[in-house]
Structures are given as structure tokens and as C-alpha cells.
Chain A
Amino acid sequence: MNKTLNINLAGFIFHIDEDAYQELEGYLTKIKAQFVNTEGGEEIIQDIESRIAELFRLRISEAKEVINKEDVAEVIGIMGKPEDYLEADDYEGAKQQKQEREQAYFQRSSRIIYRDADNRIIGGVAAGLAHYFKIDPLWVRLLFVALFFAGFGTLVYIILWIVVPKANTTVEKLQMRGERVNISNIEKSIREEMDALGGKMRGFAAKAKAHDYQQYSQKTGGFFSDLGNFIGMAVRTIFKVLGKVIGFLLILFAFVVLVGIIAGLLTGGFHVLGNNMGFWSLMDFLELVTVDALHFNSLAVGLLLITIAPLFLFIYLGLRLLFDLEPLNKSARNGILISILAGFIILIIAGSRIGISLDSHGSYSERFDLDPYTDTLHIEVNEDAVYQAFEAYNFNPHWMVIDERNIFGDVDLTVYKSNDSNNFILTEIHSRGNNRREARAFAKELQYSFQQTDSLLEFDHYYTLDTDSRYRGQEVHHKLYIRVGTKIYLHENTIDLIYDIKNIGNVWDHDMVNHWWEMTDKGLLCLDCLEQQEPVWPGDEEADDAENFPDTEQEEEPDEKEDMEFSTTSLQFSKPSLDHVAHLVLHKTVQAIL
């Protein structure tokens, strides 16, 4: 038993067998696809349908009410195959349509590559490639971005931009898009046909549609077309699934980064100068390193643009892959791209301004003579609240904000031999700045402190900057000058304060604390670390045999002495040298000037 359907063709109702209907449906669909772009195509199709209805009427009678497969075949024989219609059409159109059919045959071999200026972001290269390979332009763009980071993406892009022509005419655009137009047209005409047939055959529609596709490809390409279709479909399916996965990952990534940034801003995930900072201290820091309010704002805006805009782009792309959203309209896309670019440029400008503000070096120094004291000088670090705060972080941070003061840890202490009549501390403060004068001004702005209480010398292991001051890499170097015979004890908590103290035996800074030291002519000598003595003075000379060390050696090496300047290396154990004095005078002059 055969199922029959009722169809309306040019205003006439026909009973038609199911298989005959499928044949007819496929035929009409192809005819429509053929003429849909032709001028007066609707009319032509109407004429053809009328003629088919007429021919059907001739084939039914009282005895035979149903149109069968043979009838349809006969009518198609009379009317001609869809390809035959082309002969009457104009040559250009025929060529173009033939090409389209060939494209259906070999998925992409005859598709021509053009740049798609309609969907471009820069030059339409990615969109054009996407048409050529029948994939979403997004993939091509992601690939270009990846290649950009690999280093040659830009070059490849520019070459393609130059080499690949732009699709200007409609024909070129069709050639570029290849089969796409065709498929959508077929789908469109099938939908129209279904509407015309009424809602009776909804269930049948899907089947007819599937059949139609099948038949279409069989007709035009046979085995290879089937294979091509299959591969094409498989590839598209893989891409689709992959797209969803990547879309999901993109969203996840953007989300995690966003949450990370927010969490970091609030709780302190930023690592600046060894300090874990929250949002407000990050702002504080920016304020410290910038030049003025405008500079600060531009830096903040630049950072915001360069982080937020790409994240939104990621989230959007992810959503688009997941839910097949419409591509962002051009202005939105350009907006995002421009804001990223603007953020980048702003950051470069602001960054170079920071660079300029660190261009020059300047310093100044202050001398403090020590008050008389009894016996040994005990050197300690002032264990105040700030010290406790730094110690809580193991002295890793160089910067902290405590009680609304900017506290920096860049303070160190060295011990030299004093050739002066006094023990004194020479504090040198270095800074950077736009120019030497500014750098010196920045150096003067910071506050540091140490104090002597009888034989106790306490240093603050930090300096302070007012909130309206700026950070320009300031450093405080305390230089403690002690005369020969002076004894000092380095308290344990000076372990991070002392820096590169020259001594007989070359004891490392970290091993110098908790020991007693005495300044000798030869330099600083450890009084209670016996095991250090041996390796220092190899041969037959004893370490503490300072007096026996020949004076002549110093005269033999006058050049070296000059180079030594202020430093009390173990080799310098003489009376005050000329350059030493000169240096002191210089320091005093500098002090006077400042």
C-alpha cells in the first residue's frame, strides 16, 4: 500500500504518491534554487508549476486519480532537468550557477579565495580564509592571534592582505562564499514549499528535506560528493563540538581571571616590591610612582582598559561559541579593539614617563658625630612596630603602608675605619629623578632615623615617605666610621641591616652578627670567632699580627690605594690618605650646599 498526499500546484489539488511527491519536491526545489537569483524568477517558477499542473491534469482520469512516480518522471522528461534550464539562461549566469554546482560537488576546490571586506576587522583576510575553508572566522582570527604571539602572524597577515584580492562584485562574493548561498537558498525554498503545502505534513517535512539533500548531492556528484559531504559534515561537527569546548574554556578562563583580579584587588594578590597588595594599596603604590594626578589617572585607566576589555571579549567569544550568537556588530568589536589598543598606548606612554622620572641619579649625605660612650658600641635595630610588621613578612617586602605612612625597607649599614678624630655616621641617601636636582630633592624628602643612647646605637631598618611624596627608588646607606681600637657588637637583629661589611677574615654579613668586633689598622677584626681566623692569613703570618705587617707594601701599591677611596678593605691600614680627606671635604661641601 502506498501513502498518498494532497498537494496544491498552481491552484489545483492533486493526489500524489509519497515517493512521487518526493521526486517532484526535489525537482521543484532545484528549479527554485536555479532561478532564485534570476530576475523574474518567481514568475518563471509559477509558469513552470502551471505547466506541470497542466501536464498532471492530462495524466489523471476517473480511473486514475493519483499521480505516481512514472507520471512525475514523464513530466520531468518533458520539462527538462534543472541543468537544462540553464541553456536558456544567459551565459554568465549559467557559468556562475555551474560553478556553484561544482562547489557542491567538491566542497571547496573551486571556491575562490577573496578578502571579505564586509566582515572584516582589519583587512578581511581572516573572514576570507574562513569562507575558503568553510569555518567560522573566529578560528582564523584565533590562529592569527596565536601566530602573532609566535612572532610572524603580522607578517603573514600583511602578505595575505596584499596578495589576496578583495571581493568587490556580487559574483566574486558568491565565489568567495562558495556553496553557502546555495544551501541557504535551498533551505529557504524548502521552507516556502512547506508553507505552501500547509501544515498538514509537518512530520513529513523533515524526511523530505533530508531526502532532498541526499538526492541533490547524488545527482551532482555521486560517490565523491557523498564522501565530500560526509567528510565536510564530520569536520564541521568536530569543529562545532570543539567550538563548544573552547567556548566553555574561554568563559571559564575569563571568569577565573576576573575573579582572581577582583579577589586580588580586595585581598592583596598583587606582588609589588615584595609586598602583597590589595586594591587600595595598589592605588597607593601607583600614586607613589607616578608624577602627578594626570599621570596616575592615565596609568589606572590604561591598566583597566588592558585588563577588562580583553576579558569581556573572551567572555563574549565563549558565549558566542557556546550558543551560536550573532557576531558582535562592527562598532562593538572595534570598540573593544580600540579600547585594548588605547589601554596599551596609554600604558606605554605612562610607563615611559615613569622611566623618564627615574632617569637621573642624585644623592646627598649627612654626617653625625657619635657622642662619647663607655666600652663597646652595641649596634641594634630598633624593634618598633614597623620592625614587627616587616618581620611578620620575614623582611621580604620593601614597601609597606603602616598608619598611612609609606614605609620602605631599603636601608643598610656598613662599617668603615674612621681616620677622623671622631666616630661618626655618614648617611648617604640615593634617589632617582627626572634630573639630578629633582633626584636630590626626592632624597631629602624621606625620613630616616637612628639614635645613640650611651653605648647603644639603634637604627630604624626603614625610611618613611609622606603620602604626598613620591617613590623614586630611594635608598638609605648608613656608613658607620669607627676609629682604630673601637669595639662594636653586632646584635642579632642587624642581620638584614648590615651590608657588605669588610673585615679581616672576609666573614659573611650573616655570620657577623652576634659577634664582637674591633677596628684595627688592618680592618675590622672578629674578637670571638676563632674558627674564622685561620683561612684568612695563609702562610706563616698570624691573623692578629697586624703590627708586623710591613708598611712598605702600602707604598708598593700606591695605585690600588687611590682606587680604594673610602673603603676600609683589609689592605688599607694606613694613616688618613689624601683622597680620603678629599672625600670627606667633598661630603661636607655637599652637605653645606644642600
Chain B
Amino acid sequence: MNLENTKAQMRKGVLELCILSLLKGKDAYASDIIEHLKSAQMIVVEGTLYPLLTRLKNADLLSYRWEESKSGPPRKYYSLTEKGRKAIDELTETWNQLVEAVQKTTKNAQ
């Protein structure tokens, strides 16, 4: 049993919800999303994010448009799709149930 692996799995499960939620208010660049997640200690390195974003985009939960950048190559500007919004609701509900369930179980165990 690899504890690090379990932790990574846990983070991974909620990472998608976090990314989607960050885009709820406003569209964002990948680097903006990274800043938020880094400060929340959800991810450590940027590389982790790109595969996730691509997957969410391929699942039609996200869409993006290109924006010119002064400091380098054009950037992808991500926004939520309708499907993405529904996914947030669904995932949030599941998250709440999960938190409740975990609290209940861990409390009972004590």
C-alpha cells in the first residue's frame, strides 16, 4: 500500500471539480488556473495541469479560444461549457455527500 499514491488519487478526484469551479466566475488562462491551484496547494508543478485541461476539453466540459500574448506564444483562454456547468453541480453534490460520508465514518470509528 502506497500512501503517496492514495493521496495523489484523492487529489486527482477533486482536482477536476476545482478546475471547473475556478472557471465558474470568469474565463482564465492555464497559468491563472495554475496560480490558484498552487496557492491552494492542490498541485505542485504546472505540468500536471495540461493533461487534465486537455481531457476536460476533450470531454466537452471546457472550451477555449486563443488570445495573443505580449510575453510569448498565444495562450489558450479556457471557459466553461453548458455541460461543464452541469458537471460542476453534479460533482459538487457528490463531493458534499462524500465529505459527509467520510466525516460520519471517521467519527463513528472514533
Q: Collect the chain B residues with CB atoms within 8 Å of residue A11's CB.
A: 73
Q: Give Cα A39 to B57, complex, Å.
A: 12
Interface check A43, CB cutoff 8 A: yes
Contact (Cβ within 8 A) A79 B46: yes
**A84 lies within 8 A of B53 (CB):** no
Partner of A88, one of B30, B31, B51, B73: B51
Are the C-beta atoms of A50 and B12 separated by less than 8 Å?
no
Q: Does B75 contact A (CB under 8 A)?
A: yes
Residues of B within 8 A of A58 (CB): 71-72
Q: Give the residues from 4 to 37 in chain B that come closer than 8 angstroms, CB to CB, to chain A.
A: 8-9, 11-12, 15, 30-31
B72-93 interface with A by 8 A CB criterion: 72-76
Residues of A near B31 (CB, < 8 A) are 51, 54
Complex Cα spacing A78 to B48, Å: 10
- Structural contact, B73 and A53, CB atoms closer than 8 A: yes
- For the complex, what is the distance from the CA of A39 to the CA of B75, rounded to whole Å? 21
Q: Is B69 an interface residue (CB 8 A)?
A: yes
Give the CA-CA distance A154 to B75 in the complex, in Å: 63
Instruction: Answer whether residue B102 sits at the interface, using C-beta atoms and an 8 A cutoff.
Output: no
B45 contacts the other chain (Cβ, under 8 Å)?
Answer: yes
Of listed B12, B43, B54, residue having the most chain A CB within 10 A: B54
- Min distance, Cβ B109 to any Cβ of chain A, angstroms: 26
Which residues of A have CB within 8 Å of B51? 35, 38, 40, 44, 85, 88-89
Pick from A39, A53, A85: contact of B48, CB under 8 Å: A85
Alpha-carbon distance between A134 and B74 when the two chains are bound, in angstroms: 45
- How many Å from the CB of B19 to the closest CB on chain A? 10
Q: From B4, which residue of chain A is reached at the shortest CB distance?
A: A87
B95 contacts partner chain A, Cβ-Cβ < 8 Å: no
Q: For chains A and B in complex, what number of residue pairs have CB atoms within 8 angstroms?
A: 83
Residues on the B chain within 8 Å of A88, using CB = 12, 15, 43, 47-49, 51-52
The answer on a CB contact under 8 Å between A40 and B72 is no
* Chain A residues, Cβ within 8 Å of B41: none
A43 touches B54 (CB 8 A): yes
Query: A10 contacts the other chain (Cβ, under 8 Å)?
Result: yes
Contact check, B45 vs A54: say whether CB atoms are below 8 A apart.
no
A88–B8 alpha-carbon span in the complex (Å)? 8
Binding site secondary structure of chain A: helix
- The answer to whether A79 touches B9, judged by C-beta atoms less than 8 angstroms apart, is no
Q: For residue A223, which residues in chain B have a CB less than 8 angstroms away from its CB? A: none
Q: In the complex, what residues of A have CB within 8 A of residue B108's CB?
A: none
A84 with B45: CB separation less than 8 A? yes
Residue of chain B at shortest CB distance from A88: B48
Q: Is the CB of A54 within 8 A of B8?
A: no
Interfacial chain B residues near A80, Cβ < 8 Å: 44-48
| Residues of chain B with a CB closer than 8 A to A82's CB | 47
Cα distance, A182 to B93, chains bound together (Å): 41
Residues of chain B within 8 A of A57, CB atoms compared: 71-72
Q: How far is the CA of A134 from the CA of B48 in the complex (A)?
A: 33
Expressed in whole angstroms, the minimum distance between the Cβ of A254 and any Cβ of chain B is: 54
Docked-complex contact B72 and A84, CB < 8 angstroms: no
Contact B71 A40 (CB under 8 A): no
- Residues of chain B with a CB closer than 8 A to A84's CB: 44-45, 47-48
Distance (Å) between the CB of A420 and the closest chain B CB? Answer: 108
- Residue on B nearest A58 in the bound complex, by CB: B71
Interchain nearest-CB distance for B52 vs A (Å) = 5
The answer to the question of B55 belonging to the interface, with a C-beta cut-off of 8 Å to chain A, is: yes
* Chain A residue nearest to B54 in the complex (CB): A40
Could you say which of A10, A38, A43 contacts B73, with CB atoms under 8 Å apart? A10
Closest partner residue, chain A, to B48 (CB atom): A88
A74 interfacial contact with B, CB 8 Å: no
Main secondary structure of the interface of B (DSSP, over half): helix
Q: In the assembled complex, which residues on chain B have CB atoms less than 8 Å from the CB atom of A85?
A: 47-48, 51
Task: Verify A50–B73 contact, CB threshold 8 A.
Answer: yes
Could you say which residues of chain B place their CB within 8 Å of the CB of A44?
Answer: 50-51, 54
When distances are taken between beta carbons in the complex, the residues of chain B under 8 Å from A89 are: 51
B58 within 8 A of A: yes
Q: Of B9, B54, B76, which is within 8 A of A91 by CB? A: B9
Interchain CA distance A51-B73 in the complex, whole Å:
8
Minimal Cβ-Cβ distance residue in B for A50: B73
Q: Is B73's CB under 8 angstroms from A54's CB?
A: yes
Q: Chain B nearest CB: distance from A204 CB in Å?
A: 25
Taking the nearest CB of chain B, how far is it from the CB of A65, in angstroms?
15
The reply to whether B46 and A53 form a contact with Cβ atoms under 8 Å apart is no
A456-469: CB near B (< 8 Å → 1, else 0) gives 00000000000000
Residue of A nearest to B11 (CB): A87
Task: State whether A79 and B45 are in contact (beta carbons under 8 Å apart), knowing that A47-B53, A50-B73 are contacts in the complex.
Answer: yes
CB pair A79–B72 under 8 Å, yes or no, is no
The verdict on A48 contacting chain B, using a C-beta distance below 8 Å, is: yes
| A12 at interface by CB-CB < 8 Å | yes
What separation, in Å, do the CA atoms of A156 and B32 have in the docked complex? 62
A24 to chain B, nearest CB (A): 14
Considering the complex, give the chain A residue whose CB is closest to the CB of B45: A80
| Alpha-carbon gap, A80 to B55, bound state (A) | 19
Residue of A43, A50, A87 near B8 (CB, 8 A) is: A87
Rounded to whole Å, the gap between the CB of A27 and the closest CB of chain B is 10
| Chain A proximity of B36: nearest CB distance (Å) | 15
Q: How many angstroms from the CA of A87 to the CA of B51 in the assembled complex?
A: 10
Query: How far is A91 from B8 in the complex, measured between Cα atoms in Å?
Result: 10
Least Cβ–Cβ distance between A95 and chain B, in angstroms: 9
Bound-state CA distance A35–B46 (Å) is: 15
Contact with B along A27-68 (1 / 0, CB 8 A): 000010001001110011001101101101110000000000
In the complex, A43→B57 CA distance in Å? 11
From A79, which residue of chain B is reached at the shortest CB distance? B47
Of the A-B pairs whose beta carbons lie under 8 Å apart in the complex, a sample of 21, sorted by A's number, is A10-B72, A10-B73, A38-B51, A44-B51, A44-B54, A47-B50, A54-B71, A54-B73, A58-B71, A58-B72, A78-B45, A80-B46, A80-B47, A82-B47, A84-B44, A85-B48, A87-B11, A87-B12, A88-B47, A88-B51, A91-B9
Given contacts A78-B45, A84-B45, 15 further A-B contacts (CB under 8 A): A10-B72, A35-B51, A40-B51, A44-B51, A47-B76, A58-B72, A77-B45, A80-B44, A82-B47, A87-B11, A88-B12, A88-B43, A88-B47, A91-B9, A91-B12
Binding site for B on A (CB under 8 A): 10-12, 31, 35, 38-40, 43-44, 47-48, 50-51, 53-54, 56-58, 77-82, 84-85, 87-89, 91
